[in-house]
Amino acid sequence: MRYTVGVDVGGTFTDFVLHDRTGNQVSAWKQLTVPGDPVTGILTGIDGRASHEEIANFRIGTTVATNAVLERSGAVVAYITTRGFRDVPFIQRGNRRFHYDMNWVKPKPLVKRRHCFELTERLNYKGEITTPLDEAELREIAARIKADPSIGAVAICLLFSYLNPAHEIRARDVLAEELPGLPVSTSYEVVPKWKEYERASTTIADAYLKPIVASQMREMKRRLEEGGQTAPKAVIKSNGGETLPEAAADFPIHLLVSGPSGGVIASRFLAETTKTRNLVTLDMGGTSTDVATVVDGKERFTTSFEIEWGVPIQIPMLDIRTIGAGGGSIAWIDKGGMLRVGPQSAGAAPGPACYGRGGANATVTDAHVVLGRISPANFLGGKMRLDVEAARAATKRLADRLGMSIDETAVAILRIATINMIGALRSVLVEGGFDHRDFVLAAFGGAGPTMAADVIAEMGISTAIIPHNPGQFSAYGFLHTNARVDRQRTLMMTSRDFDAARAAALMQVLIGEGVDELATQNYSSDLEIACRLDMRYQGQNYELELEVPPEIVGPEGAEGLWQAFHDAHRARFGFDNPGETIEIVTFSTVVSARTVHPVSPRLKTGDLAPVPRSRREVGFARGRVDTPIFWRDDLLASQRIDGPAIVEEAASVTIIPPGQNLTVDPFGHLVLNTDG
Amino acid sequence: MRFSRNGYFIEEYVKCSVSGALIYGEPYAEENGRIYADAWCRAWDRRAPGETIPLPRTPARATGQPPDLVMMNILDSMMVSICREMGIQLMKTSYSTIFNEGLDFTCALANVRGEMIACAEFCPTMIGGMPLLIDSCLKEIDLDSLEEGDVILHNDPYRGGLHMPEHTFFKPLFVNGELIAMAVCIGHIAEIGGMVPGAFAGEATEIFHEGLRVPPIKILKAGRDVDEVWKLLLANTRTPRTNYGDLRAMIGAVDLGVERLGQVLAKYGKEVFERTCDDLMDYSERRMRAEIAAFPDGLYGFEDTIEDDGITAAPHRIAVDILVQGDEIVADYGRSGPQARGPINATLGVTMGATYNGVLHMSDPGIPKNSGCFRPIKVLARPGSIANVNYPGPLVAGNTETHPRLANIVIGALSKALPERAMASESATSNNFVFGGQDPSGGSYFACYDLMSGGWGGRHGADGNDCVIAINGNCRFSPTEVFETRYPLTVEVCEMVQDSGGAGQWRGGLGLRRVLRIDDVAITVSQCTDRQSMPAFGLFGGQGGGLSKTLFAQNGSQEWGTARDRFNKVSTSKYANVTLHPNDRVELVTPGGGGYGDPRKRDPELVREDVAEGFVSPAAAKALYGRGACG
């Protein structure tokens, strides 16, 4: 049992990373994904690389939930809510996505209004029952759902259920009697937090995904086992934790950003091995770029994800911002004569002009090709020959209109693409309240290494790391996941009426739920427990998260807790309001079990300067320069390369402009520096 | 503008007879009792029929170098991202729901000439209002008196402002002792004293009923709080604690803006920064001129009616005549009615902002929003009219009610030039239901500004969106679970109103209906809304949208009546200080949007889907869309 296999099933490629425990070696490769059939790609990709008996376990990132939501191919959901509030998923929050855009169409919820049912029952804002649940009415609703064979799942979201789940639980139990076998999601179990639209939206999405995720998990397990792959399989959740396929099917909403979470986990591990405190990631592919952060060695989480603008999913997941910009982003000239890049993308077909598949628009990749940064002979390890002339012709069309040379235009395209990337990086850092100068950039994905040097130079970051196997970095991250359960619940208390015993009791309940869930996955020892409170000044609407001990109030008493909040507010926003009433809103816990992780293999140290494989003219901001080209596999630890230079490898290219330099660290990561 | 000799107060507000703009210093000319702000206004007044008067061009400040298009793109992205960052911080740190749920604020950057150089997409009224506001304030502030760390506060609607709840903070940015730019933040403070809690006094007849007016003053000097100003401000509100939190949060936002813009200046230097800002404004101007040049030339008039002003039970006409001449627009509100006795008057800032808002809706949304973008648009609003209120006329609802109505008639007028780009009228009201009372537990006073969404108008090719906030704002609606936790009311119903979308080939969006029950404390209620007797207009054969409604029922009874029936008010939509007792209920219904195009041309499949989803009743489908339409 030598191998652990990480598999990241993407739209175009399925990426594999295999860790061989005996020799402590890592290998990575890609396999084309069969559209609509992820399992075949997995089986073909494994074939010949590792024998069945030697695989100890699989860690799989899946796009099943993401795709079902994007393509709107989930189940027909019936929605049950408090009388008077059927329209909450349609009314939403009343704001609109863009100003001044009269063509905007408000997003539709994942449920039809004809399938929404009102139930007589009501709780007040303290969680007290003011109208008891009308059970006869509920059974009538069940009968109507039963009469509609199209309905594949039920979502229940009742007002104030986060304070008292009695009615939701009763409703769930009655439906189980009346509609055996029909999946049900309750808002209390999915996301017990206040704000009914956000909770309803999340619960409906969970129900929407249940049938398709359950069947795909079963199918995946069955076919992998038929193909001889009997090793345990884990799927990766959006919080970067792993879980069993069966458990994932119970709360499929947790799989929404399964794939990209690998890049963040890998970055956390990268931060650990390279002893880097803060990393910001740039995971750039052909059509999109993911940005996330690792702060003080820890990945960061969010509960404000949206599947499209205005359709929120509020479960805790890795905070990953995706922008629609990548190597395929198209350069164009707007009505005022300004050069712009994106958001339109050439995608995979026709792709950039240099793909020679009929794409006429100059893209970011074309600009790299025009400038000689990407070699036409070494794209995807030489598997695809690029058409330089097509790239030049497309760039020339823009150059003529701008009155610039082709090279100048290509440089300008890359500069603007760089600014777009920085915009995404900044917005992530800004919302977290961070200063970019405290961060190191981790650039991966096929296109990340091509942009890293320009991004750090323009943004004022001194260092970027290009990890090994940047093209399969997400799959690599799956080798480093832990089993992890996040639990959260709203219970409001203020510094005036704080009840420490009640707070500690709730924390214990949440910890207990996490421990129980991990026990079902056979993790019961060496559990790590973290407890957090979301707090704010009373009246504020957004909380700061504070790590607290499970008993919440330490020996110094509640005063210490309130002072910790004032301090955190000052650190985050630059001011605090001493003496003000503080409110606790949400309690949350993370229970995790550390799994066996590979140790990062070390690279042999090289004493001599590395030898380039070739040289060519490459365009930079100040013109063309004769530039040495290195092959990454040739490089040894502690070697240094001064720009201008280029490092090529099978799935990516790292560019070192004049004035920057690169060193190879002991693990084979490339470390770019702007400061000479 | 004539100040008293001691400089402490204004003796006379001098306005241009043509544009309605406030004149600081000497007027350009005074003839036959007419006062002119500039040569263009004088020429306009004397033009021959059909003659066009080109707008004055901003003098070229070019240094001879061609604009650096790449640098422009970079600086614009950076500045917009700074403004966004300011806004996000404000959202996260402010205390009142109108800020943190409603996002009723905007953040911008300005240069020392008083031009807005960048802003973030928060509240549109404020974006369009910001250029005049910044310009007016900078005319009044002695720039030489500014020091590093100063913060200026201002809310005076007669000096470039919108209405008194809108508080603006300016913080100057100094580089090496030289004033380079300003970070600006404007936001809605819900409770500012005045005759009703929550400012929206439907029966106000002068500005003093609407709260505390603040001319441009320093609230921080050289980084230190001016305690006297804080004390004065907080002594004049019912909710000092909340106001304190909101004001602090706004100061935090301009602090952040100055810090971040300072970093940009450190990177690129003053010269590149200033030149690129000028280039950027020229660029936006060029883009806007290109948009207008594509509009067919002509004079396009449109009008609508505001049902009453809360004081007099008589309608008020709002009208615009838009002259498209080449790449410029002159929007003349001269046919609008005289200044109203009640609070529906617009300030010049509101009318300019509404005009920009309407034009921006009809043009490319990608134009960077800065002062340059508005140069080719001239707004004429006669002083003393509903479109340009004179001191001390009431105006609190001008910003929330009259703004969207003006923006909608601008769109209506331009629909004659560009039918496929236009939208039928939206609800065009913020509903503005405000209430306050004594907290039963803590004994402190609470106040709530509650706004609601209504239907959008139908558009060429798409139905109006259901339940979206009027286009003057982009606020979010408060969740019931937040609302009931914060205030002693229970929401009994929150639903869309069937059949409220105006019929059309593309129907209007649906309005919203809520029923609120008062829990255990009496509250004082006021409202400023409209469209209770005159619907949102349709276009090109589309029908009007559903009407708005406010009804009251006492102590659990089922007998519902309007504010007129129950409380002897003049208006059903604008009233002040109605007391509601425990178990009383109020029903609030917002208007649906107008329809676009002949209903009989509507795709029968869409009608069937509407009926299946309950957006349209079978009976209405049959009556409005014809036989067989409801399948």
Per-residue pLDDT tens digits for A458-481: 888 999 999 999 999 999 999 998
Q: How confident is the model at residue B67 (pLDDT cuts 50, 70, 90)?
A: confident
Q: Assess if residue A371 is contained within a domain.
A: yes
Query: ipTM score here?
Result: 0.93
Question: What is the chain B residue with the closest CA to A569?
Answer: B93
CA-based nearest distance B468→chain A, Å:
4
Does A363 reach chain B within 8 Å, measured CB to CB? no
Residues A46 and A135 in one domain: no
Angle made by CA atoms A305, A311, A313, in degrees to the nearest 5: 40
Instruction: Report the SS3 class of residue B505.
Output: coil
Torsion of CA A610, A612, A617, A619, to 10 degrees: -40
Assess if residue A464 is contained within a domain: no
Q: State how many domains chain A has.
A: 4
Task: In whole angstroms, give the CA distance from residue A512 to residue A506.
Answer: 10
Provide, as residue numbers in chain A, all residues whose Cβ is less than 8 Å from the Cβ of B423.
102
Q: What is the model's pLDDT at position B396?
A: 94
Query: A245 in a domain, yes or no?
Result: yes
Q: Which residue of B has its CA nearest to A122?
A: B492
Tell me the nearest-neighbour CA distance from A524 into chain B, angstroms. 37
Strands (E), A369-472: 440-444, 463-466
Nearest CA in chain B to A335: B287
The answer to whether the CB atoms of B480 and A93 lie below 8 A apart is no
Q: Which of residues 385-414 of A touch B (CB under 8 A)?
A: 402, 412
- From residue B13, how far is each of B2, B10, B222, B389, B391 by CA, in Å? 6, 7, 31, 11, 8
What is the four-CA torsion angle of B319, A94, B560, B521, rounded to 10 degrees? Answer: -120
**Which residues in B379-412 are b (16+ Cβ under 10 Å) and which e?**
bbbbbebbbbbebebbbbbbbbbbbbbbbbbbbb
Q: Do A101 and B242 touch (CB under 8 A)?
A: no
A413-472 residues touching B, CB cutoff 8 A: 415-416, 419-420, 422-423, 426-427, 430-431, 460
Q: Which amino acid is at B292?
A: I
CB–CB contact B95 A340 (8 Å): no
Q: Are residues A21 and A100 in the same domain?
A: no
Contact B475 A94 (CB under 8 A): yes
Mean pLDDT along residues B142-166: 94
Asked if A355 and A236 sit in the same domain, the reply is no
- Contact in structure between B607 and B600 (CB atoms under 8 Å): no
Calculate the alpha carbon distances from A258 to A7, A242, A263, A284, A293 in Å.
11, 9, 10, 17, 17
CB pair distance less than 8 Å for B357 and A100: yes
Q: Do A99 and B490 touch (CB under 8 A)?
A: no
Closest CA to B306 of B294, B319, B317: B317
pLDDT at B64 exceeding the cut of 70: no
Domain that holds residue A502: 483-593
> Hey, what's the torsion of the CAs at B511, B512, B513, B514, to 10 degrees?
-160
Q: At residue B347, does pLDDT exceed 80? A: yes
Overall average pLDDT of the B149-166 stretch: 94
Closest CA to B357 of B308, B396, B317, B320: B320
**A125:B614 CB<8 A:** no
Could you say which DSSP state residue A652 is in? E
Contact B465/A96, CB-based, under 8 Å? yes
Report if residue A611 sits inside a domain.
no
Is residue A542 included in any domain, yes or no?
yes
pLDDT score of B63 more than 70: no
Q: What is the pLDDT of residues A16-62, one digit of tens each?
A: 999 988 888 888 888 877 777 888 888 888 888 888 888 888 899 98
- Do A178 and A220 lie in one domain? The reply is no
A105 touches chain B (CB under 8 A): yes
Cα of A49 to nearest chain B Cα, Å: 47
A174 falls within a domain = yes
A481, two tokens: 């996941």
Closest in B85, B100, B121 to A540, CB measured: B100
Report which of residues A42 and B388 the model is more confident about.
B388
Cα angle vertex B96, ends B93, B98, to 5°?
Answer: 110
pLDDT of A490: 87
Q: What is the pLDDT of residue A302?
A: 86
Residue B404 pLDDT greater than 70, yes or no: yes
Q: Which residues of B touch A194 (CB under 8 A)?
A: 479, 481-482, 485
Searching chain B, which residue's CA lies closest to the CA of residue A84?
A: B493
Q: Please report whether residue A665 resides in a domain.
A: no
3-state SS, one letter per residue, for B570-600: CCCCEEEEEEECCCCEEEEECCCCCCECCHH
Nearest-Cα distance to chain B for A37, in Å, is: 34
Most B-contacting residue of A125, A408, A436 (CB-CB within 10 A), to test interface? A125
pLDDT at B630 over 50: no
Instruction: Write down the pLDDT at residue B253.
Output: 95
Chain A: closest CA distance from residue B90 (Å): 9
Partner B contacted by A383 (CB < 8 A): no
| Terminal Cα-to-Cα distance of chain A (whole angstroms) | 46
Parallel, antiparallel or unpaired: strands A76-82 and A151-157: parallel
**Residues A14 and A50 placed together within one structural domain of the fold:** yes
Q: Which of residues 136-175 of A touch B (CB under 8 A)?
A: 159-160
Residue with tokens 């960061």: A300
Could you give the CA distance from residue B198 to residue B164 in angstroms, rounded to a whole number?
A: 11
> Quick one: A122 and A39 in the same domain?
no
**Measured between beta carbons, which residues in chain A are less than 8 angstroms from residue B106?**
none
CB pair distance less than 8 Å for A100 and B365: yes
Q: What is the CATH number of the domain that holds A247?
A: 3.30.420.40
| Residue contact A102–B248, C-beta within 8 A | no
Pairing relationship of beta strands A116-119 and A76-82 according to DSSP bridges:
parallel
* Closest in A85, A87, A336 to B286, CB measured: A336
Report yes or no: A180 at the B interface, CB cutoff 8 Å.
no
Same domain, yes or no: A527 and A568: yes
- Chosen for mutation from A79, A90, A98, A102 (greatest number of chain B CBs closer than 10 Å) is A102
Taking contacts as CB-CB distances below 8 angstroms, the residues of chain B near A426 are 81
- Across the interface, whether the CB atoms of B476 and A93 are under 8 A apart is answered yes
| B294: chain A residues, CB-CB within 8 Å | none
- Element (H or E) spanning A302, and its range? strand A301-302
User: B362 contacts in A (CB within 8 Å)?
Assistant: 102
| Set of chain B residues whose Cβ sits within 8 Å of the Cβ of A99 | 121, 124, 127, 360, 365, 474
CATH number of the CATH domain containing A511: 3.30.1490
Closest CB to B495: pick one of A84, A340, A420: A84
pTM of the predicted protein model: 0.91
Sheet order of strands, A582-593 included: A25-32, A13-20, A3-9, A55-61, A233-236, A241-243, A482-494, A582-593, A527-537, A544-548
Give the closest residue to A377 by CA, choosing from A614, A668, A655.
Answer: A614
Residue that is last in its domain, among A548, A574, A593: A593
User: Do A97 and A183 fall within a single domain?
Assistant: yes
Establish if A332 touches chain B: CB-CB under 8 angstroms: no
Residues A389 and A401 in one domain: yes
**Nearest Cβ partner for A99 among B121, B422, B461:** B121
Chosen from A100, A115, A572 to mutate, greatest number of chain B CBs within 10 A: A100
Output the domain CATH number for residue A204.
Answer: 3.40.50
Instruction: List chain A residues with pLDDT less than 50.
Output: none
User: Distance between CA atoms of B199 and B190, rounded to whole angstroms?
Assistant: 7
Same domain as A408, residue A335:
yes
What are the CA-CA distances from residue A168 to residues A113, A138, A621, B491 (Å)? 20, 11, 62, 20
Which pLDDT value is given to residue B309?
Answer: 96
Domain end position, chosen among A358, A384, A416 = A416
Check if A202 contacts B (Cβ < 8 Å).
Answer: no
A110 lies in the same domain as A194 = yes
| Chain A residues close to B255, C-beta within 8 Å | 574-575
Domain boundary among A533, A561, A593: A593
CB contact under 8 A, B494 and A88: yes
A93 with B491: Cβ contact below 8 A:
no
Are A340 and B73 a contacting pair at CB < 8 A? yes
Instruction: Give the best residue of B82, B93, B433, B460 to mutate against chain A (max A CB count within 10 A).
Output: B93
Interface test with A, best of B481, B514, B616 (most A CBs within 10 A): B481
Residues A39 and A126 reside in one and the same domain: no
> Is A301 within a domain?
no
